[in-house]
Amino acid sequence: MLRFIGKRRLWMISALIVLSFLSFVLIQLPPGNYVTTYFATLSASNEVIDRNTAADLRVRFGLDQPMIVQYFKSITGILLHGDFGLSFEWQQPVSGLIWERMAFTLLLTFATLLATWGIALLIRIFSAVNKYTIGDYIVTLFRFIGLAVPSFLLALVLMYIAAVKMGQEVGGLFSDAYVTAPWSINKLIDLLNHLWIPVIILAVSGTASLVRVMRANLLDELHKPYVTTARAKGLSEFRLLIKYPVRVAMKPFISTIAWLLPNLVSGSIIVAIVLNLPTAGQMLLQSLMSQDMYLAGAFILLICVLTMLGSLISDILLASVDPRIRLEW
């Protein structure tokens, strides 16, 4: 198992080096840079533009250097000093901006992951064991609704219910009185009162897609000979389900970690805008639109890291569930 983990870590490090370069190149593909975008905004406001000022800003931000030089300066600062550079738009260190947003993003990601897994696991067992019953048809109906309803529309509906029917403040993760307040029990309770709306929105589509895959896999396992043999030996139905077919059918369930972690950062941008959440998604979109190179690059690099980390975690869990996977490495 240790040899398997060691090989996967080596692949992960190699992939991150390549992805860091590709993400840096991807950001630079659109024509222009932050300075040209900034002065285009000023020109649209009929403000006078000084070309010398534009040249000075390019030199100040290092945009006059070749792309490969900018990349090596950026990656060296990250690896040696943990310095992600300076945000052009915010005029602040990128590390301070991203960690402030990533803390709430990871909290929302973890809560959504627990909700998605918990709901999907229970629904898929119920739906597979009681296939073609009224309960299975009801679950299927809600699953298709979860896949079909856009996340922003669900966000608006839940905001209306919370604000009009429940009299709760909506938008953001805190009430106005607790935004800048120090952490306390009351602030934690206020966070939980606001957290359930984005968690439900993000968990609905993830649960709907997971249930479909896992139900099919569990149905395949329920009719295999080893299940019939275990049932013939007198094993209780609940223990039989949990110990054998559910364990084997968990493999696609575990594999979703690889795409679920980065998707909750990049895929929740619309929800973050609708609910005005202080998460990474909204700032990532803003940095891409303004061509804030170092800020956008830091977020994309973190998404790549989450993808690799999710793949590593899912591979380790898959190797624990199915020892045959270790022999392939």
Q: What does each of the 329 residues of the chain score in pLDDT, given as a tens digit?
A: 667 667 777 777 788 888 888 878 877 777 767 777 766 766 666 666 666 766 777 777 777 778 788 788 878 877 777 777 777 777 788 888 887 777 787 788 778 878 887 787 778 778 777 877 888 888 888 878 877 888 778 888 888 888 888 877 777 788 877 877 888 888 888 888 888 888 888 888 777 777 777 777 788 888 888 888 888 888 887 788 877 787 777 776 777 777 666 666 665 677 777 888 877 777 888 887 777 777 888 888 888 887 788 778 877 777 777 766 666 55
Q: How far apart are CA 25 and CA 21, in angstroms?
A: 6
The Cα angle at residue 148 between residues 144 and 154, in degrees rounded to 5:
115
Look up tokens 């993400």; give the residue: 23
Taking every pair of Cα atoms in the chain, the longest distance, rounded to a whole number of angstroms, is 86
CA-CA distance, 290 to 30, in Å (whole number)?
11
Phi, then psi, of 203 in degrees rounded to 5: -80, -25
pTM above 0.75, yes or no: no
Spell out the residues 6+ positions from residue 261 whose beta carbon is closer than 8 angstroms to its own: 109, 113, 306, 307, 309, 310
> Domain 101-282, what fold?
MetI-like fold (1.10.3720)
User: If 0-12 CB within 10 Å is exposed, 13-18 middle and 19+ buried, where does residue 155 land?
Assistant: buried
Structural domain boundaries of the chain? Answer: 101-282
Distances in Å between the alpha carbon of 98 and those of 79, 85, 302?
A: 16, 11, 9
User: Tokens for 81?
Assistant: 């000093």
